[in-house]
Structure 1
Amino acid sequence: MTHTAPTRRTVVTAAAAAAAVLPMAAATTARAADGPAFHHGVASGDPLPDGVLLWTRVTPTPAAVPGSGEGPDTEVTWEVARDAEFRTVVASGSVTASAASDHTVKADVRGLEADTAYHYRFAAGGAQSPAGRTRTAPATGAAPAGLRLGVVSCSNYEAGHFAAYRHLAARRDLHAVLHLGDYLYEYATGSYPADPVRPHRPAHEIVTLADYRVRHGHYRTDPDLRALHAAHPVIAIWDDHETANDAWREGAQNHTPGEEGDWAARRSAAVRAYFEWMPVRPAVEGTTYRRLRFGTLADLHLLDLRSFRDQQAGIGNGAVDDPARTLTGAAQLDWLTSGLSASDTRWHLIGNSVMISPVAFGSVPAYLLGPIGECLGLPAGGLAVFTDQWDGYTADRDRLLGHLHERRVTNTVFLTGDIHMHWANDVPLRAATYPLSPSVATEFVVTSVTSDNVDDLLGVPPHTLSGVAETAIKAANRHVRWLDMDSHGYAVLDVTPERARMDYYVLSDRADPAATSTLARSYQTLDGTQRVTRA
């Protein structure tokens, strides 16, 4: 596996990125005006040593748009080749697209070679899809020299353009892209943010199955999102906005039963549309927690922190420490801890949708607490703990971190999204006595692709007022090594046997479709240390 050191500044224009992905994002072939078409691109995901999951959507007739429930059953063929010209096809098959699945189709292809790049495409009724490129995982017992993952989170269509996806699509050194949740947002146009950069569809808040399908379909009209899916396999988990803001087991902050119906019905619709439109295998029915392996170098434990959690605690009532309350659910926590103990890989990566590192706010000025709280999904009335994060469920966190410490599980790295900020943290066993208390893991948090962060909410230039809060938070939390509360962007995780490094990239302007990308910082954790240092 190749490894190239990132440059301090990478400037990729829209034209250059388009040229880089052209073989995978080419237009559909000529077809009859009323015949099938592939308007939503192609995708792959969840790579295994012998296979990968392929996805597309066919529009069989012009009326059969996402969420319409219209259109005939349509046979869709697929093929996988070693070369971009499809001269050497190694696997092929067919699947039927129907209105029952919104004319989305998946092919779980097996029998491929490990750690190998492949090209794939679909066809139906004389129309051919764009071609995509994917890659299988290393063999289970192989010892790869490295693993490189793009890492993204929180992509609100109305808040800006998906330039982060364009930059990742243009890279050829990635093995996959990890999406840590909030792939889409459920709000009505103009709700968040109040002044959209571009409107999404439908214009109203999505509640029904048809609504969620339309919103997924509209996101897939974005050329940068289509390019990302065509260029790399995507490994995705969900957070809350795939259903509704601050979701929990039996409801959500952004769900009003009297006006928006039964929560179980809304959640069922959102989950069904998600699995229709995303290249994801549900390991447990209706959830996204599952595990992938990359030889003996790393395993990737992917969490679902919305389906089983208790309702978020009120601030200041002590409920965050109630041992009966759970974030993960007992079964998922047992699955995670047993998997960590049994693993024989060098690194244990955990795809984690909400931050696990504890944070106290120290002397953060009052005028900054509101915008910070909004990024964190907290009530406006106060800011004691991150109640939507692991800070609101301390018993589960204590069980997990205690397990890492007692079983001497080393090299655990949490990869986290959700809070629209870049962070690099040690994860202490007991934060109050850190650094006397040991660090049992590390955490790399990626900022949002587009969703509002502190400077957006304050309406000020980036890296002005937020600097006060960043200094106060680091002073009150010695395990926080770095944070950036204002930038939008993405990250690249680079893992070798010796270290796991996170390269943090920031965009010049989320509202600019041709935004440039700059490497802001790099942090790493060395083998066996459980500590973050600047790289």
Structure 2
Amino acid sequence: MPLSRREFLIDSLASGAFLPGISARKKPGNYPFQHGVASGDPLQNAVIIWTRITPQNNSEYSAYRWRVALDPAMANVVAEEYGVTGPECDHTIKIDVTELAPATTYYYAFETRGHWSDVGKMRTLPEGHVEHLRIAYTSCSNYAAGYFNVYREIAARSDLDLVLHLGDYIYEYASIEESLTTGRVHCPLEETVSLDDYRARHACYKLDKDLQAAHRQHSFVVIWDDHEVANNAWSGGSVNHSNENQGRWGERLSAAVKAYYEWMPVREIEHTGRMALYRGYRFGDLLDLSVLDTRLAGRDGPTDDLLETENSDRTLLGFEQEAWLDTRLAAAQQEGVTWKLFGQQVMVSQFGLNEQPFNYDQWDGYPAARNRLFDSVRRHSVDNWVVLTGDIHSSWAMTIHDDPFSDLSTPLGVEFVTPAVTSPGITSKPAAQLAGASLESLLPHLNFVDFYHRGFVLLDITHEQLQAEWWVVDRVDTPRYRCECMKALKVPVGKAELRPSQPVMPESTPLSMKTFDSELAYLREWEPAPQALSDGMLAASAPQ
């Protein structure tokens, strides 16, 4: 709700607060910006900025102002407006700041009741010729499963242009057993079902200081997966939802989606509707990023009947999203963009044995939809195609083929799977190593896999190559940890092949970052062959 400057000042004085510039700006118990700040969905001329005002009582309305500047001291102001938030959006604020310049770093902050929020940093997308980009991506961040050490590492990187989160940003589970191990307790304690539940769960996550730091330092692009609603969710239901015990599915789905839009720095897409969140981003002539919604936009219901999965009408994306993606791929190729990237949730590459999928929730459960995707890539002669995937709590690198079990000669692209922030894969390191080794003989298109570590993937992108680096932490049960680069692979332009590499270290290296660690060397050396498996950082402070 817009508000004039005069109305805002009257409201601030009536609350007994200091005017901006006079307050010492410490954080007392009634500090209104307890959930931090965030920015997201950057375009060449616009970025979403977000925060929440913690109300003194839930029914109240709060006047606020936001400010965007070219410097962290917030002196060189380029935009400033006033507004009001209240209970209908859970006291959140989400502003689409427009008329910005491309490839420019901005700073932003909010004020209410005489208090300033932390200062956040955001960056618009570039246009024209772009030489170099660095993007970090991750997924699967269960608060109760461990400390957000991965977010802390992402926040410490001063060399990122963007952070991509591929879903399961929150978890709907009660996670009592995990909480007994880690001491990190979900709020509410029960599984989320109602709008109040989902709002409280988002609030719980955004109280985490490491997550706040990552959002404060970097603009995010986010997409939901299933746990933002319920396990293995689709538009028609979920495997662990009971209408008898948890109410109507449609009401639960609507509540989860409403809370997501309130609490996340995402732009609502008018032409798709609220239940579809797919969209695209262009980074000049270097990169086209298509962020896919494999969960709610159009997915057909799950089945483990092999004959039913072969139905030619089954779709994972929905036919509208398929058509949108086909058009986007064609445009990126025709316009000479070097790299075509997908950010999506479930594994595209085949993961099974004797045509029997291990996981029907992935693209393996929708082979006709995957064939249509591959046909689109071929029809438009798309080169330099890279798929970024989350969901599976493990690290993978593969080449993409129509049928890797019969022909490896003409890969269509490559797929990189990020490890989780906290959600576990195989929790025993020896068992994880054994499982990884066993897959080498089963999956001829597999370059490497790791089921044990949590972390993120760092992409270093130029017109000559795209490099993926798996940065992992050794533990999440404590905030004391080590972070190392486990694996680095590069893809030469024009060739869908994976070559070993070394991490590209930034000019300014955080103290926690190191090169390869000897304990992780077995993955650095592992290739699919019969060999042994052996700065501009911001503190949490307000404008002066």
Match in the other structure for 1:372: none
Distance in 1 between residues matched to 2:154 and 2:90, nearest whole Å: 28
Any stretches of 5+ residues in structure 1 without a counterpart? 1-26, 64-69, 363-382
Instruction: Select which of 332, 355, 361 maps to 2:347.
Output: 355
Match in the other structure for 1:524: 490
Match in the other structure for 1:479: 445
Give 1:441 deviation, angstroms: 1.3
Residue 312 in structure 1 maps to residue 302 in structure 2:
yes
Distance in 1 between residues matched to 2:328 and 2:144, nearest whole Å: 39
SS of alignment partner, residue 435 of structure 1: coil
Whether the 8 Å contact between 1:434 and 1:478 is mirrored in structure 2 is no
Residue 290 in structure 1 maps to residue 296 in structure 2:
no
Whether the 8 Å contact between 2:405 and 2:444 is mirrored in structure 1 is no
Cα RMSD (Å): 1.9
Whether the 8 Å contact between 2:182 and 2:477 is mirrored in structure 1 is no
Summarize deviations over 1:305-345 as a string: whole Å, max 9, x none: 1112112111x532222112111110001111111011121
Match in the other structure for 1:326: 315
Match in the other structure for 1:445: 417
Summarize deviations over 1:485-532 as a string: whole Å, max 9, x none: 111111111111111111101102111213221001111211111222
Match in the other structure for 2:33: 38
Whether the 8 Å contact between 1:507 and 1:516 is mirrored in structure 2 is yes
Residue 400 in structure 1 maps to residue 373 in structure 2:
yes
SS of alignment partner, residue 217 of structure 1: helix
Amino acid across the alignment from 1:44: S
Give 1:484 deviation, angstroms: 0.6
SS of alignment partner, residue 273 of structure 1: helix
Match in the other structure for 1:23: none
Match in the other structure for 2:162: 176
Whether the 8 Å contact between 1:28 and 1:130 is mirrored in structure 2 is no
Whether the 8 Å contact between 2:288 and 2:341 is mirrored in structure 1 is yes
Residues 248-397 of structure 1 aligned to structure 2 (within 5 Å)? 248-283=234-269, 284-286=272-274, 287-307=276-296, 308-314=298-304, 317-343=306-332, 344=335, 345-361=337-353, 384-397=357-370
Summarize deviations over 1:187-209 as a string: whole Å, max 9, x none: 01316677454111000000000
Whether the 8 Å contact between 2:223 and 2:277 is mirrored in structure 1 is yes
SS of alignment partner, residue 166 of structure 1: helix
Amino acid across the alignment from 1:525: V
Whether the 8 Å contact between 2:142 and 2:422 is mirrored in structure 1 is yes
Pair 93,186 (structure 1): closer, same or farther in 2 beyond 3 Å: same
**TM-score normalised by length of structure 2:** 0.84
Match in the other structure for 2:472: 506
Whether the 8 Å contact between 2:234 and 2:300 is mirrored in structure 1 is yes
Whether the 8 Å contact between 1:504 and 1:519 is mirrored in structure 2 is yes
Residue 56 in structure 1 maps to residue 58 in structure 2:
no
Residue 109 in structure 1 maps to residue 97 in structure 2:
yes
Match in the other structure for 1:233: 219
SS of alignment partner, residue 48 of structure 1: coil
Summarize deviations over 1:23-44 as a string: whole Å, max 9, x none: xxxx99248866x611000000
Pair 193,442 (structure 1): closer, same or farther in 2 beyond 3 Å: farther
Instruction: Select which of 139, 144, 153 maps to 1:153.
Output: 139
Match in the other structure for 1:366: none
Whether the 8 Å contact between 1:193 and 1:452 is mirrored in structure 2 is no
Give 1:102 deviation, angstroms: 0.2
Give 1:293 deviation, angstroms: 1.0
SS of alignment partner, residue 270 of structure 1: helix
Summarize deviations over 1:439-488 as a string: whole Å, max 9, x none: 1111110011110111x2xxx3x1x1222322221212111111111111
Summarize deviations over 1:286-307 as a string: whole Å, max 9, x none: 1210111111111110111111
SS of alignment partner, residue 247 of structure 1: coil
Distance in 2 between residues matched to 1:72 and 1:33, nearest whole Å: 18
Distance in 1 between residues matched to 2:29 and 2:179, nearest whole Å: 38
Once the two structures are overlaid, the 10-residue window that deviates more, 522-531 or 225-234, is 522-531
Whether the 8 Å contact between 2:50 and 2:265 is mirrored in structure 1 is yes
Distance in 2 between residues matched to 1:476 and 1:186, nearest whole Å: 34
Match in the other structure for 1:368: none
Match in the other structure for 1:365: none
Give 1:104 deviation, angstroms: 0.4
SS of alignment partner, residue 260 of structure 2: helix
Whether the 8 Å contact between 1:159 and 1:197 is mirrored in structure 2 is no
Any stretches of 5+ residues in structure 2 without a counterpart? 1-22, 502-544
Amino acid across the alignment from 2:331: A
SS of alignment partner, residue 408 of structure 1: coil
Amino acid across the alignment from 2:217: A
Pair 193,341 (structure 1): closer, same or farther in 2 beyond 3 Å: farther
SS of alignment partner, residue 163 of structure 2: strand
Match in the other structure for 2:7: none
Distance in 1 between residues matched to 2:84 and 2:135, nearest whole Å: 32
SS of alignment partner, residue 476 of structure 2: coil
Summarize deviations over 1:348-376 as a string: whole Å, max 9, x none: 111111110101258xxxxxxxxxxxxxx
Whether the 8 Å contact between 1:422 and 1:484 is mirrored in structure 2 is yes
Distance in 1 between residues matched to 2:340 and 2:82, nearest whole Å: 36
Once the two structures are overlaid, the 10-residue window that deviates more, 388-397 or 352-361, is 352-361
Whether the 8 Å contact between 2:134 and 2:159 is mirrored in structure 1 is yes
Give 1:431 deviation, angstroms: 2.1
Amino acid across the alignment from 1:55: W
Residue 205 in structure 1 maps to residue 191 in structure 2:
yes
Distance in 2 between residues matched to 1:32 and 1:175, nearest whole Å: 33
Residues 410-421 of structure 1 aligned to structure 2 (within 5 Å)? 410-421=383-394
SS of alignment partner, residue 421 of structure 2: coil
Distance in 2 between residues matched to 1:403 and 1:79, nearest whole Å: 44
Match in the other structure for 2:460: 494
Give 1:72 deviation, angstroms: 1.6
Distance in 1 between residues matched to 2:484 and 2:317, nearest whole Å: 35
Pair 277,310 (structure 1): closer, same or farther in 2 beyond 3 Å: same
Name which one, 1 or 2, has greater alpha-carbon Rg. Answer: 2
Distance in 1 between residues matched to 2:51 and 2:24, nearest whole Å: 13
Percent pairwise identity: 38
SS of alignment partner, residue 226 of structure 2: coil
Distance in 1 between residues matched to 2:438 and 2:26, nearest whole Å: 59
Residue 187 in structure 1 maps to residue 173 in structure 2:
yes
**TM-score normalised by length of structure 1:** 0.85
Pair 526,75 (structure 1): closer, same or farther in 2 beyond 3 Å: same
Instruction: Select which of 209, 229, 233 maps to 1:223.
Output: 209
Summarize deviations over 1:266-285 as a string: whole Å, max 9, x none: 00000000000000112222
Distance in 1 between residues matched to 2:38 and 2:100, nearest whole Å: 17
Give 1:246 deviation, angstroms: 0.5
